[in-house]
């Protein structure tokens, strides 16, 4: 692997704006389903074309798996571009950072020989504190009591941290970890508020202990903390290329997903400007990542879910167990109504279709092309970002012939089995966006990139 760029040591001054610098378009990689589509693999594959990979939303509740040379890397907060030591891996202001989790990931990657010199963390990113996790767990317990339905969060404190970001007075940012006196004063106030909110769960909050814990972690992160907004604009002004890496996925977007069973951040390209300070006009290409079937973690509607042996077969072949939690994912046929909606709001210009190999061996493959409802004889081809409305929908399927061939060694679209190509073409026609990358196995090299340009 090439040596780490010296720019990583002083990113705030590495690139300076210049009037004659070229205007560089950026690229975004966005999940167009309920997450776990394989965004990490796509980012890892195209990262060499860029100067920095930028994470702009979510927290340690997101997990990306990348397999390189048979070695599996599980990434949660660190952008997938970290596997290239000459790239910057930027955690921007829109991410909520659990410093303990980040440093655990840091140490784990270091132990595997990954250079972490390119890691940059925004001073404006908000911090997930231990009491956020306690609040998250308490909320889930209360929602699930009395036959209720919890959101199904990872209990990593993501939602409560974003809530404190909006509450302002009870928020802590990465920059606060580097100012011990200020941090302690803020925690004195915050612990009083949280102890009332959490009741017995907050009775043991100790501002002195929390301040010492957070300050220690902040000192370890200090070399990597910078104003990432200026960093990214300096890079763009000097002609550098940025790759934005989305966490979670469009159908989990806090505004445009199946509310309330969503995550707590903006997951599509719409979240990039707020989450990084880079305007949407600098994004030239949007790669929407779509799994060849559908999966979902947590509760909420999923019209195409398979609860039978076929669903279990797909789950096992697709290794559908959470990168972050290890819990089994719900699986089902591809929902093209939902994917087309997600592509629309994300502005997808191309599709990366992943895990096509998982469908090998099936006699037939189904794709949801509309929804029916007991309340209306008419079918609809419009997705609803409302869970109660979605619960009433039943999938209307188009059935295509399956394929039995092993495709894990195929490296061109033309060499795919006829029925596999027909399935891809049907997806393209329905969504109205070309498929330019096809995943046929978990490893980096098991990818068809015919006609793919970024």
Task: Point out the residues that are catalytic.
Answer: 36, 64
Helix (H, G, I), strand (E, B), or coil: what is residue 427? helix
Q: Are 128 and 158 in contact (CB under 8 A)?
A: yes
- String of b and e for 170-180 (b: at least 16 CB within 10 Å)? bbbbbbbbbee
Distance spanning both ends of the chain, measured CA to CA: 22
SS3 content of the chain, % helix, strand, coil (to 5): 40, 20, 40
* Spatial separation of the C-alpha atoms in residues 303 and 369, rounded to whole Å: 11
Structure tokens at 99: 């410093």
DSSP summary character for residue 104: H
How many degrees, rounded to 5, is the angle at CA 286 between CA 281 and CA 290?
A: 155
- Which residues, including other chains, have CB under 8 Å from residue 380's CB and lie 6 or more apart? 370, 371, 373, 393
Work out the burial of residue 123: count CB atoms within 10 Å of its CB; fewer than 13 is exposed, 13-18 middle, 19 or more buried. middle
């Amino acid at each position: 692997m090439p040596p780490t760029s010296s720019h990583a040591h002083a990113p705030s001054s590495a690139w300076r704006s210049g009037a004659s610098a070229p205007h560089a378009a950026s690229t975004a990689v966005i999940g167009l389903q309920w997450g776990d589509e394989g965004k990490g693999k796509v980012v890892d594959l195209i990262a060499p074309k860029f100067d920095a990979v930028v994470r702009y939303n979510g927290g340690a509740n997101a997990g990306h798996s990348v397999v390189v040379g048979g070695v599996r890397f599980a990434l949660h907060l660190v952008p997938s571009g970290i596997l290239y030591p000459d790239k910057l891996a930027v955690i921007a202001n829109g991410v909520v950072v659990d410093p303990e989790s980040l440093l655990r990931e840091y140490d784990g990657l270091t132990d595997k020989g990954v250079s972490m010199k390119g890691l940059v963390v925004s001073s404006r990113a908000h911090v997930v504190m231990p009491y956020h996790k306690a609040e998250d767990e308490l909320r889930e317990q209360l929602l699930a009591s009395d036959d209720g339905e919890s959101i199904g969060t990872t209990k990593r404190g993501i939602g409560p941290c974003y809530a404190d970001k909006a509450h302002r007075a009870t928020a802590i940012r990465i920059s606060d970890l580097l100012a011990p006196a200020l941090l302690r004063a803020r925690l004195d106030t915050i612990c009083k508020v949280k102890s009332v909110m959490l009741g017995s769960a907050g009775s043991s909050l100790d501002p002195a202990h929390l301040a010492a814990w957070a300050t220690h972690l902040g000192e370890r992160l200090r070399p990597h903390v910078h104003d990432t907004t200026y960093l990214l604009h300096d890079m763009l002004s000097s002609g550098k290329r940025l790759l934005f890496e989305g966490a979670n996925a469009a159908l989990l977007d806090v505004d445009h997903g199946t509310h309330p069973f969503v995550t707590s951040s903006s997951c599509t390209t719409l979240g990039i400007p707020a989450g990084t300070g880079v305007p949407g006009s600098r994004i030239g290409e949007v790669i929407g990542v779509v799994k060849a079937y559908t999966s979902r973690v947590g509760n909420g509607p999923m019209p195409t879910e398979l609860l039978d042996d076929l669903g279990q077969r797909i789950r096992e072949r697709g290794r559908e167990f959470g990168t972050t939690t290890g819990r089994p994912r719900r699986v089902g046929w591809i929902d093209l109504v939902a994917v087309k909606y997600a592509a629309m709001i994300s502005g997808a210009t191309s599709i990366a279709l992943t895990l096509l190999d998982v469908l090998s061996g099936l006699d037939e493959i189904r794709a949801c092309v509309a929804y029916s409802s007991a309340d209306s004889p008419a079918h609809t081809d419009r997705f609803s970002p409302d869970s109660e409305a979605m619960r009433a929908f039943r999938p209307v399927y188009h059935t295509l012939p399956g394929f039995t061939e092993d495709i894990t060694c195929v490296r061109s679209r033309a060499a795919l089995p006829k029925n596999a190509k027909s399935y891809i073409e049907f997806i393209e026609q329905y969504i109205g966006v070309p498929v330019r990358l096809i995943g046929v196995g978990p490893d980096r090299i098991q990818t068809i990139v015919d006609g793919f340009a970024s």
